[in-house]
Structure 1
Amino acid sequence: MCKTEYAVCGNPHLLEGSLSAFLPSLNLAPRLSIPNPWIRSYSFDGKEEWEVNPLYCNTVREIYPYSNSNRLLNIVDMAIFDFLIGNMDRHHYEMFTKFGDDGFLLHLDNARGFGRHSHDEISILAPLSQCCV
C-alpha cells in the first residue's frame, strides 16, 4: 500500500517516479507552447490524420519548422521518451524562445501518473514508425 507520506513505493520491484523542476518565470525565459503534430483525437466521431494515414510524416516534413531544423528528430525523441513512460497524451511541447528554431524541446507534463507498466502502446511511437528517421 502506498501513501503520500512514503518517499518511494514499489510493487515490489516496479517504481513510478517523477521529476519536478523549477523553471524561470516567463518574463525571464519566455517559452512557446507548440501543438504536437501527433496529438490524439480523443473522439469517437473521427480520427486525427496520423491515426489513419501511415504517410502522415510526409505532410509534417513539408511544414516549417519541421522542414528546416532538427525539430522532427526532437519530436521522434520525445515520442520514444513518451513510449518508455507510457504517456499517451502529449498535447503539446514547449521551447524557450531565446534559442529560436534550434532550441530543445521541453517535455512538460502534469505527471498524474505513468501508463500501465505491463502494456506497451505502440501507437505512441507513430512519429518514429511513420518518419523512419
Structure 2
Amino acid sequence: MRQVVAVGEIGSAPGNLFNPHAVTVDPNTNNIFVTEGEFYLLNPHARISIFSEKGDYLDSFTHQNVECPHGIAIHGGYVYITDIGVHAVFCFKKENYYSLVTKVGTEGTQIGKFNTPHSLSVSYT
C-alpha cells in the first residue's frame, strides 16, 4: 500500500502551488505532476510542477503558449495537458526537457474545436 503524501505549499515560488488544478502520477517514475495557474492572471504562474513520490519538489516546466494548464495525463514519454485559456491540448516530450511536440485545437463549438477543455485521459491498452 502506498503512503499518502502532501506536495507543495500555497505560493508562486518553485515548489509551491499556485491554484493547482489536476494531478497525475508518472507510471514509470512515480513522480507526481501538478498543473497550476490562474486563468485571469495567466502567465507567469502557468506551469506544471513535478514532485517525487515522497512529496519533494523536483522541477517545473511551462511553455510560452500555455496560459492556464488544467487537465494532465502521461503516456509513454509524453505529457498531455489541456489548456482552458487557449482552448487546446498540448503534448510535451519528457525526454527533451518537456519540449513541445504539438498543440491541437482552437476555440470554438464546431466539430474539432474546444471550449475550455478541462480533463483528459489516456488508455494504456
Give the TM-score normalised by structure 2.
Answer: 0.25
Write 1 or 2 for the structure with the bigger share of helix. Answer: 1
Which of structures 1 and 2 has the bigger CA Rg? 1
Write 1 or 2 for the structure with the bigger share of strand. Answer: 2
Give the TM-score normalised by structure 1.
Answer: 0.24
**Higher relative contact order, structure no. (Cα contacts within 8 Å, ≥ 6 residues apart):** 1
